[in-house]
Copies of this chain bind each other. A is one copy, B any other.
């Protein structure tokens, strides 16, 4: 793999964004775990799992942040009149391990899909069928992407093949979220709840669109320091929307269903 020199500003930008994502994940985790007790028992698992997703992501952001810090080091500065102009960080030789993200996704993406299924109007059989199909295809989508990442050197053909295989599963999952599950979404009697379930589905699909685009960067020769900064910011924004954002919407859905269920009961 190739590592790039960063200006002080570029290095700090990635550092701050990774730290921001870590803080967002930790805070969302605590909120969701505490609030899992505020919803009816049958929805508690969904809120708990939403918190598990951000918990797992927090762990990986902690590792990614540390890996970023280990990849660069600041040279001793030179004092001029009692002040020191900071020089840009230098590469240490330790590679920045971004592949942690794949380990994260392998756990969190199936859980994210399951947390959406758990708050929908699905009978046990449909739930189990959809959970298996979506869980398996999301795992295959990520494994295929990771395999493509491993083939880093010169020849980009395997990376293209992996991208296409991955995209097959990607398109299938998006289709299921937007169309396959539409009937179940429409069957919600409460307009507010129906709107929020649709919101969770759409947020997931839109925030996911970053990943296949970023994956193509090396194919278009976008590999400089500037690109690394852009990729890290893009990944962080997508992760915050799809994990913290969707997790909080899931909580709102279960909370609304719990209060309305209580009124009916």
Contacts and interface: CB of A to CB of B under 8 A. Distances in A.
A260 to B, nearest CB: 14
Interface stretch (A29-37, A174-182, A210-218): A29-37
A264 interface: no
A52 B225 CA distance: 35
A56 interface: yes
A83 B26 contact: no
Contacts of A241: none
Contacts of A92: 74, 76
Nearest to A65: B63
A4 B82 contact: yes
Contact of A99 (B4, B16, B41, B83): B16
Contacts of A91: 76-77, 79, 84
Nearest to A53: B27
A86 B55 contact: no
A150 B102 CA distance: 32
Interface in A53-110: 55-56, 59-60, 63, 74-77, 79, 82-87, 91-95, 97, 99-100, 102-104, 106-107
Given A23-B104, A95-B74, A83 B2 contact: yes
A104 B22 CA distance: 11
A52 B24 contact: no
Q: Is the interface of A mostly helix, strand, loop or mixed?
A: helix
A95 B103 contact: no
A44 B52 contact: no
Nearest to A17: B103
Nearest to A76: B93
B60 A23 contact: yes
A95 B41 CA distance: 48
Contact of A23 (B31, B86, B107): B107
- Residue with the highest number of chain B CB atoms closer than 10 Å, among A19, A23, A79: A23
Contacts of A86: 1-3, 93, 95
22 contacts: A1-B85, A2-B83, A2-B86, A3-B84, A5-B84, A12-B99, A19-B63, A19-B103, A22-B59, A23-B60, A23-B104, A23-B107, A27-B52, A27-B56, A27-B107, A35-B45, A35-B48, A74-B92, A74-B95, A76-B91, A77-B91, A82-B225
Given A23-B60, A34-B36, 12 more contacts: A2-B83, A2-B84, A3-B77, A3-B84, A5-B83, A12-B97, A22-B59, A23-B107, A26-B56, A38-B41, A77-B93, A86-B93
